[in-house]
Amino acid sequence: MTLRILPSAAIGIRPGLHSKVTARAFENWNPDIRQAAGASETVENTISVLDVIGNDAWGEGVTAKRVAAALRSIGDQNVVVNINSPGGNYFEGLAIYNTLREHKAKVTVKILGVAASAASVIAMAADEVQIARAGFLMIHNAWVVAEGDRHQLREVADFLEPFDAAAVDIYVARSGMDAKEVAKMLDRETWIGGAEAVEKGLADSLLSSDEIAASPQNSAAAKTRVAAHRVDDLLAQLNVPRSERRDLIAALKGGMPGAASTGMHDAAVLTEVNDLLKSTLNTFKTSV
């Protein structure tokens, strides 16, 4: 397979739309999964996609700008892209896909854990896709948060349709699957295990278990990391500015009795923020 036969993805961002990670994607993402030490002979030519796609409240996450900068530093050499991501900003994911697709040397993607949503699109930009036997691809239609009357929401649905069609084209170009079958898979949010991904042509081979390092269960630090991303996503849906989201989450972490300096338990964070969201929504309802 060569990059030349992969379709490009048109990108147009509509103001006011928030592309989000699904709850199930967060639940199935273990941030502790990573490449084992010494597994790659070209560490200097490796790009890590081991976080949400797009900037979060802390300016973290994987962006097209960051990937482009890494590729410029690598130059026209082969590159390995390690992926373990729950997805995120779908439009940013398409931009990263385009950036990798245009790289002049071989791109090898290694799906170490989860490549969900926008991250699965990124994976399709490779010349060769390798996936862990216990890894997963998740494909679905673009998820966004929008508000407005019925006319505005119809416009949003119409706006999203070409992006879903572009995703179908990308998956079909990689796998050779029937376009109608792929579209149905996107409609119902489909999780595809490692062996099945190879069988369907969405990946080329399975990774050796020696290439992957991970804790048997999410560590406390990983749970805190996932919780912080979920809280940031919830607050973003209420149009809370990024700086305020960052300050609020920091205050919640530091304000709980017995909270560790690295953060507090994810359930406690989510309980506090859910209470805040309920209070905010109740206030909104009484004011309209």
Q: What is the DSSP string of 120-186?
A: HHHHTTSSEEEE-TT-EEEE----EE--S-HHHHHHHHHHHHHHHHHHHHHHHHHH---HHHHHHHH
On whether both 158 and 282 belong to a single domain, the answer is no
3-class secondary-structure state, position 18: strand
On whether both 152 and 193 belong to a single domain, the answer is yes
Rg from Cα positions in the chain: 19
Q: Looking at the predicted structure, is the pLDDT value of residue 220 above 90? A: no
Q: What's the token pair of residue 216?
A: 């048997």
On whether both 228 and 208 belong to a single domain, the answer is no
| DSSP 8-state code for residue 63 | -
Q: Looking at the predicted structure, is the pLDDT value of residue 112 above 90? A: yes
Looking at the chain, the whole-number percentage of residues with pLDDT higher than 90 is 44
Q: Which of 211, 172, 168, 206 is nearest to 187 (CA)?
A: 168
Contacts of 12 (CB under 8 A, 6+ apart): none
Residue count (the chain): 288
Q: 262 falls in which pLDDT band (50, 70, 90)?
A: very low
Handedness of CA 257, 259, 264, 265 (dihedral sign): negative
On whether both 119 and 158 belong to a single domain, the answer is yes
11 beta partners: none
Q: How much is the average pLDDT of 78-94?
A: 93
3-class secondary-structure state, position 49: strand
On whether both 144 and 242 belong to a single domain, the answer is no
On whether both 52 and 150 belong to a single domain, the answer is yes
On whether both 75 and 40 belong to a single domain, the answer is yes
* pLDDT score, position 117: 93
* pLDDT (tens digit per residue) in 132-170: 999 999 999 987 767 778 888 888 888 888 889 999 999
Residue type, 173: A
Q: Looking at the predicted structure, is the pLDDT value of residue 121 above 90? A: yes
Q: Of 213, 228, 254, which one is at a domain's C-terminal end?
A: 213
Host domain of residue 264 = 220-287
On whether both 272 and 194 belong to a single domain, the answer is no
CA distance 228 to 61: 12
144-145 and 18-19 beta bridge pairing: antiparallel
Q: 173 falls in which pLDDT band (50, 70, 90)?
A: very high
Helices within the chain (DSSP H only): 23-28, 64-74, 90-101, 118-123, 150-175, 179-187, 194-200, 220-237, 242-255, 266-287
Place of tokens 């506090």: 272
* pLDDT score, position 240: 74
On whether both 182 and 226 belong to a single domain, the answer is no
Q: Of 213, 247, 269, which one is at a domain's C-terminal end?
A: 213
Q: How much is the average pLDDT of 212-220?
A: 64
| Structural contact between residues 36 and 20, judged by C-beta atoms closer than 8 angstroms | no
On whether both 14 and 142 belong to a single domain, the answer is yes
CA distance 81 to 61: 15
On whether both 7 and 92 belong to a single domain, the answer is yes
CA distance 35 to 111: 10
